[in-house]
Structure 1
Amino acid sequence: MTINSLGLDIQKTKETAEQLNHLLANFQIYYQNLRGIHWNIKGRNFFDLHVKFEELYTDANMKVDLIAERILTLGETPLHTFEDYIKSAKVPVGQNVSKDDNAVALIVTSLTELLKIERQILDAAGDANDEGTNSMMSDFIAEQEKTVWMMNAWLGKSL
């Protein structure tokens, strides 16, 4: 086993960084979806949802930066082209979403996919003793679980 200057196994760190790049790609699609629904939302819920979507895309933008910086901290290069994001992403692309129910459902679907990826990274980071990545994933998961609960409540659905 070869250890890097962070005290982490180099091979496991490379694998974690690859998973983080996958998460980064998905977050970029999620972020762009949020921008689109923020711009295009229509209907009686416009004022409330327009503000909420801005809050969510601001948070997503911050998380994109945190993920990219973690990849760099681990000694790898973050993906940075939309071509790479589209190839890697599992989050659905929301095109021309303007109806409130559809917009909120897109958020739930997207966050559900992000949570799956984050839990995989959490497991891998734990196996690699990578507390920095582990802590970041734990924070993301806790916030996103609450958002999923709130969005499902708005939709009138339970988890």
Structure 2
Amino acid sequence: MTLNSLGLDTEKTKNLAKDLNSLLANFQIYYQNLRGIHWNIKGKRFFDLHVKFEELYTDANAKVDEIAERILTLGETPLHTFEDYSAKAEVPVGKNISEDEKAVQLIVDSLAKLLQIERQILDKSGDADDEGTNSMMSDFITEQEKTVWMMKAWLGETV
């Protein structure tokens, strides 16, 4: 086993960075979805949702930066083209969504996919003794689970 300057197994680190790049691609699509529904939302709930969607895309933008910086910290290069993001992303793409319930459902569906990816990374980062990535994934998961609960409550559903 070869260790890098962070004291982490280089092979496991490369694999984690690859998974983080997948998460980065998915977050970029999620971010763009949030921008789109923020711009296009219509109806009686416009004012509340417009503000909420801005809050969510601001948070997603910060997370995109955190993910990219973690990839760099692990010694790899973050993806940075829309071509790469589109090729790797698994979250649903929302196009021309202006109805409130469809917009909120898009958020729930996107976060469900992000949570799956993050849990896989959490498992691998634990195995690699990568506390930095592990901590980041734990924080993301905790926040996103709460957001899913709130969005599902708004839809009148349970988790």
TM interval, short-chain normalised: over 0.9
Once the 2 structures are TM-superposed, how far is the Cα of residue 132 of structure 1 from its aligned partner?
0.1
Any idea what the Cα deviations from partners look like across 1:4-33, whole Å, max 9, x if unmatched? 000000000000000000000000000000
1: CA distance, partners of 2:92 / 2:115: 14
Q: TM-score, normalised by structure 2?
A: 1.00
Q: Which residue of 2 aligns with 1:21?
A: 21
Quote how far apart the aligned CAs of 1:66 are: 0.1
* Equivalent position amino acid for 1:44 in 2: K
- Provide runs of 4+ in structure 1 moved above 3 Å: none
Q: 1:24-76: per-residue Cα shift (whole Å, max 9, x none)?
A: 00000000000000000000000000000000000000000000000000000
Structure 2 portions without partners, runs of 5+: none
- 1:91 paired with 2:101, answer no
Task: Tell me if 1:57 matches 2:60.
Answer: no
Provide the C-alpha distance between the structure 2 equivalents of 1:67 and 1:35, rounded to a whole number of angstroms: 19
Aligned pair count?
A: 159
Matches of 2:69 and 2:156 in 1, distance apart? 37
Residue 123 of structure 1 deviates from its aligned partner by: 0.2
Q: TM-score, normalised by structure 1?
A: 1.00
Partners of 1:127 and 1:14 in 2: CA distance = 13
Partner of 2:100: 100
Equivalent in the alignment of 2:9 = 9
Structure 2 CA distance, aligned partners of 1:47 and 1:147?
Answer: 19
* One-letter amino acid matched to 2:93: V
Instruction: Give me the whole-angstrom Cα distance separating, in 1, the residues matched to 2:64 and 2:97.
Output: 22
The equivalences for 1:130-149 within 5 A come to 130-149=130-149
